[in-house]
Chain A
Amino acid sequence: MKPCLGYQMSRRSMLGASGATLFGLQLSELIARAGEAQQTKAEHVIFFWNGGGMSHLDTWDPKPGSPSQGELNPIETSVPGIQISEIFPQLAKQMHHCALVRSIAGTQGDHGLGTYNVQTSYLQTPNIVHPGFGSVVVHEKPKMGDLPSFVSISGRAPRASYLGQACEAYFVGAPGERDPYLAFPEGITQVRGNDRLDALARFNDRYGSRNPGESNVATKTAIDDAVKLMRSPALSAFELDKVPTTMLNRYGDNTFGRGVLLAKQLVETGVRFVQVNRGGFDTHTANFPAMRAHGAVMDPALASLIEDLAESGLLKKTLIVMLSEFGRTPDVNEDAGRDHWSDVFSCFVAGGGITGGKVIGSSDENGYAPKDNPVKVADLHATFCQSLGIDSMKEVMTPLQRPMKLVDNGKPIADLFA
């Protein structure tokens, strides 16, 4: 990545000029946040989306002694009695901060339908698009600071649909890569770029005075917001080049590790919802080496994130969730793979006021179906909303004036907060 001198200059001058803000957060906001510390409500979410259908048996719900177990062994964790797969040795040591839901009773075994259901809580139907969970959160929680409220890393988040354009995710391609739209185009110096912005404002004012109307004001606001973001010191939260090498190595110097570090920086800077996407879980063939490879990447990043957030105290205010559209078959197929399985799968949760070291529900002996405490997908969403202090039954209007609940009638899992 090329350093951009002008961009750095503007950041420094902004810092000097605006002593009353820290990373774009008004001091008053910071104080307000500190004051809320007693409450258990989460303020942020880091949502890990593992696309393809992650095997629940080779991660959160191992089946020692069962034919379903396969090649990966369970290991003990920091919580006596809770075992997870051997692919998560470091994360196992953080288990006292984390909880598992092992009895999600899914209904959708197709990638598209499952993804839609798990990300929105609704079943996909023609004619209507339901908003994703991230959009729900930023619809209900006011923006903090200069950065966009909802950021999606390394892939797409679902659409905001009837919650409106303001609830769409801000898209970051590769973590650490600077969004080219936040800096002047190549070859335009800072001085020249600023001169152009000034002249543009003059032209627009002139046009506005000739053509009255709200639409001109709205455009001006949009441009002002854009320029404010371009010049915000908070933007450094998108950069990873100042992260010490030791830290980067601890998380893992790969796309996922950098994505998790970025998520942490963004949450620390006030971003409400960060979605970190990762694919490659559709392991119809050679499931076990694939899951080992995933573990090697995911384990250090997740464990470091939880450890660091717990240490800084932000874990209490940050709900961490890892989900996938479904689990995988207990039977290992002839290609040593596992196929789609939605009857039961698991969810990983940490922080955000949930009680660590818990397991909610269980699947049967071989991992085919929920055994006790079956949890619907919508129940998960309702639980997340409870953690955030959002009324999941609140109704919003669609363009057809049809009232829709934020979550499709789920019931929060009370045990997670006990």
Chain B
Amino acid sequence: MAYLGLHRRLRLQILVSVFLVALSVVTERQKSFAADNATEVTEIRKAADPAAVKTIHAISVDDALSQENQLLGVVHPAEPAVPDLAFIRRISLDLVGRIPSKEEVDEFLAWPEHERRERMIEKRMNDDRFVDRWTTFYADLLRLRSNSEGGSATIAYVHRSLSNNVPYDELCRNLISKNGKAGAVPEVGFILGDGADPMAMAGVTAQVFLGVRVACAQCHDHPFDVWKRKDFYELAAFYGKTRRVESQFTKTIYTTEANESLVLWPPEGVGKMEDRKPITPRFPFELLAEDHPSVVRLNTRRKALAEEKAALLAQQEAASKPDDGLDDLLANADKKVERSTRANDREESLEEARSEVRKIGASGGRNLESAWRMQLAEQITSPRNRYFSRCFVNRVWCELIGRGFVNPLDDFNQTNPPSHPQTLDFLADEFVASGYDLRSLVSSIVSSEVYQRGHSTVVDEKFRGELEKSFLALPARRMNSESLYDSIVTAGHLFEVKHAAGKNMKTVWSELQVTKQPSGGQGLAAMSLTGSNGQAMDGKMAASNDAAAEQSPVYNLEGAIELDFAKILEEVQEGNDEVVVEQMSAMSTEQIEAERMLMKSQENSYAYIERFTRQQLDDNPLFASSFRMASPADPEHFLRVFGQPERVQLGETRDHAPSMRQALMLLNGRLSHEAARVGELEPTHALLIGPQQNLGQAVELAYLEILTRRPSTSEALEGVEMVNASGNPQEGMGDLRWILLNCNEFRFVP
């Protein structure tokens, strides 16, 4: 579903601000030069005027921020907006997770200067890859793992929710409150990620959704905040009746509600055993009163925006008569037939599964929703709960700006106040008013002047830090691992075939350990005798088309196998008991078969032969987007080496620190090597070899494709010299591209 577009007011605002930016660039730049050249750096702020009004009234983020900076006495000018090419690189990385292609740059530059940034923002917001890139943001935030129980379905579900523009509060309510079978009810993967353990979920709920670290109150009162141990237990109690159940017969895993809560007070070891009683859930966070001015303002604004949105929707619907294709209807009919056929085939196991479900029903109820957790979800996502909106807005702000108002992002506490509380609240209130709409939030941030500001080049580290703290300049930040991966693939033309057929023929020897079947024949199942502590993958992967997977299984650390999110969710049906039963029966047969296979392989786990196989293959490199991979990737995989988190630990953030492993991977790895190599089907090839040879243009193209900028005169000369030096322009260009892909400039968001 396409995004509805920026609403009119916002659009006007951007037009104005872009115009103002253009006007102010010259003077700002002069100021900035002056600041650079001065040996004594000027001060950033003066003592605030005590007579100044303390409450700001803003109409935009920029307005809020500049008013609040004024309140804080900030007098230093802001860095000017970055040039157009830096802007398109930045916005592409942030919104769709990869650098722009040459064609996209050309299109962008062909648009009229005063509207090109706004148009590019809109284009990127509507790109399908926006959903892929921000699914990764959510997966980090929610600690979703493809290999946890029901985890891949949860990731696919978040992807679909983003694609359908499901409001953030609604998404969270579902994740917090749903019960059901792992995979079939995709939301439950969230609580199953922590084994649906009430104590763990209390810590997760507070920290992930509200940015408050209460986990230490599990064992003792919080050392420097207001949280008491009892608060923690009362919060955990919302999850107290929820159970993770593993079915004896089907081996399926699901969550359900029991009658008794497991969360008892006083805690174990405090007081007598017989005194411990189930504790009543209580939400320990303060909610604003219904008539609090901010809530009143919010409700009004919410209503107005909702009406505006509804009107726009009606307008759009009237404009385009929905074309419910006959194909869709037919496809659905097909599916129904298929489903009933499958049920017939498995009548017997279906009957068994049914009786099992009845048994579950008798022993506590297969409740799809938990009443207590529903209550919790309502309070967490309430517009009166400012923790919820502040926490999320702070994260999104940091993701785009490089620094939060509160840092660490999940540590809102009395001793760690926000740098700009009113700006944070402005954004948070706008976010709530928009109906918790991620796209509105992202769009308002990236359309702002502050987002478009440059980095400070002041050498004094401390002074630069102060500028960044006031958001006068943006901190330099590295691309995240997925964006780095996809950017290398983009720059190296590796999403498409770039070499002519037969140009990369290779003889590949591979060593396979083939299990011996008792009957004497050789089995198909290849196995390895290495350690067993890898985690099982919760499968449903599309087949790999990457030849490298066969070539060197041990060192295939740079491949990307795309997950088919739609397929993962295909079987998902909600609510209907019969459907759940049917799915259980379908799963059971698969599981029985899987178990049988497993037993077989175990019988033969010591009987195998090592076999060398030889293969001729056209190793024409082709890479897929890393945003669609099962995540987190294997520990030694490119993505992990460049900081993709494990998503287990609470409070874990992306580690952007450079390491030797990273350097080795980029210097010598297959991805950067293949990206650097020039293919005959690439545009640059004609500029390097043949009658249209033009090395200057080829060098300029390389800079544009890889660094999204034109080379300086000296860089262009140096580039041409480099291409010429090797005697083979194709190889020389390969060297130049390798350097550009490896250099520091490539890895930083401009």
Q: List A residues at the B interface (Cβ < 8 Å).
A: 49, 51-52, 111-112, 115, 119, 125-129, 154-156, 158-159, 161-162, 165-166, 168, 170-171, 173-174, 177, 179-186, 188, 192, 195-197, 199-200, 203-204, 207-208, 210-216, 218-219, 221-223, 225-227, 229-230, 255, 277-280, 282-286, 289-290, 293-294, 398-400, 402
Contacts and interface: CB of A to CB of B under 8 A. Distances in A.
Interface stretch (B26-34, B195-203, B493-501): B195-203
Contacts of B37: none
Q: Which of B663, B669, B740 has the most CB of A within 10 A?
A: B663
Contacts of A398: 649, 651
A127 B535 contact: no
Contact of A185 (B602, B636, B668): B668
Contacts of A226: 660, 663-664, 667
Interface string B708-750: 0000000000000010001000010001001110111101100
Interface size class of B (residues with CB under 8 A): 35 or more
Contacts of A126: 193-195, 197, 200, 204, 648
B40 interface: no
Contact of A156 (B534, B603, B650, B664): B534
Interface stretch (B176-184, B321-329, B453-461): B453-461
A399 B649 contact: yes
A127 B667 contact: no
Q: What 8 A-B pairs have minimum CB-CB distances, sorted nearest first?
A: A173-B554, A155-B531, A277-B531, A51-B532, A126-B200, A226-B663, A185-B673, A126-B194
A279 B529 contact: yes
A127 B215 contact: yes
B646 interface: yes
A127 B200 contact: yes
Contact of A158 (B461, B533, B599, B649): B533
Interface in B640-669: 646, 648-653, 655, 657-665, 667-669
Contact of B531 (A49, A283, A402): A49
A207 B743 contact: yes
B535 A181 contact: no
Contact of A203 (B646, B668, B743): B743
A180 B529 CA distance: 22
B98 interface: no
16 contacts: A159-B635, A173-B554, A180-B552, A186-B673, A192-B735, A214-B461, A215-B476, A216-B744, A219-B658, A277-B530, A278-B530, A279-B532, A282-B605, A290-B606, A399-B653, A402-B216
Contacts of A203: 739-740, 743-745
B325 to A, nearest CB: 45
Contact of B529 (A119, A197, A208, A255): A255
A259 to B, nearest CB: 10
Contact of B651 (A115, A119, A125, A399): A399
Given A218-B657, A286-B603, A207 B478 contact: no
B129 interface: no
Nearest to B736: A199
Contacts of B738: 196
Interface string B206-219: 00000001011000
A200 B530 CA distance: 38
A222 B659 contact: yes
A141 B635 CA distance: 23
A185 B669 contact: yes
A181 B533 contact: no
A154 B529 CA distance: 8
Contacts of B530: 154-155, 277-279
A265 B671 CA distance: 31
A109 to B, nearest CB: 15
Among B659, B664, B743, max chain A CB count under 10 A is at: B664
A202 B722 CA distance: 13
Contacts of B745: 203, 207
A162 B651 CA distance: 11
B354 interface: no
B670 interface: yes
A230 B665 CA distance: 12
A129 B647 CA distance: 10
B249 interface: no
Contacts of B731: 192
Contacts of B636: 156, 171
A214 B478 CA distance: 13
Contacts of A171: 635-636
Residue picked from A155, A197, A400, most chain B C-beta under 10 Å = A400
Interface string B516-552: 0000000000001111111100000000000000001
Interface in B383-430: none
Contacts of B461: 212-214
Given A127-B203, A168-B635, 6 more contacts: A115-B532, A125-B200, A168-B661, A213-B476, A279-B531, A286-B603
A170 B555 CA distance: 13
Nearest to B663: A226
Interface in B618-638: 635-636
A180 B532 contact: no
Given A156-B635, A165-B655, A179-B555, A192 B606 contact: no
Contacts of B651: 398-400
Could you say which of B511, B535, B606 has the most chain A C-beta atoms within 10 Å of its C-beta?
A: B606
B531 A192 contact: no
A400 B650 contact: yes
A400 B668 contact: no
A345 B459 CA distance: 60
Contacts of B742: 200
Contacts of B215: 127, 400, 402
B147 to A, nearest CB: 11
A185 B636 CA distance: 18
Given A185-B668, A399-B649, A400-B213, A285 B602 contact: yes
A182 B599 contact: no
Contacts of A111: 532-533
B532 A129 contact: no
Contacts of B478: 215
A402 B83 CA distance: 44
A182 B603 contact: no
B152 to A, nearest CB: 18
A115 B602 CA distance: 19
A258 B636 CA distance: 22
Interface in B231-265: none
Contacts of A115: 532-533
Contacts of B648: 126-129
Interface string B260-280: 000000000000000000000
Contacts of A192: 726, 731, 735
Contacts of A213: 461, 464, 476
A402 B655 CA distance: 19
B480 to A, nearest CB: 14
Contacts of B458: 212
Nearest to A114: B533
A402 B651 CA distance: 11
Contacts of B744: 203-204, 207-208, 211, 216, 219
A182 B664 contact: yes
A170 B748 CA distance: 26
Nearest to A171: B636
Among B532, B555, B649, B745, which residue has the most Cβ atoms of chain A within 10 A? Answer: B532
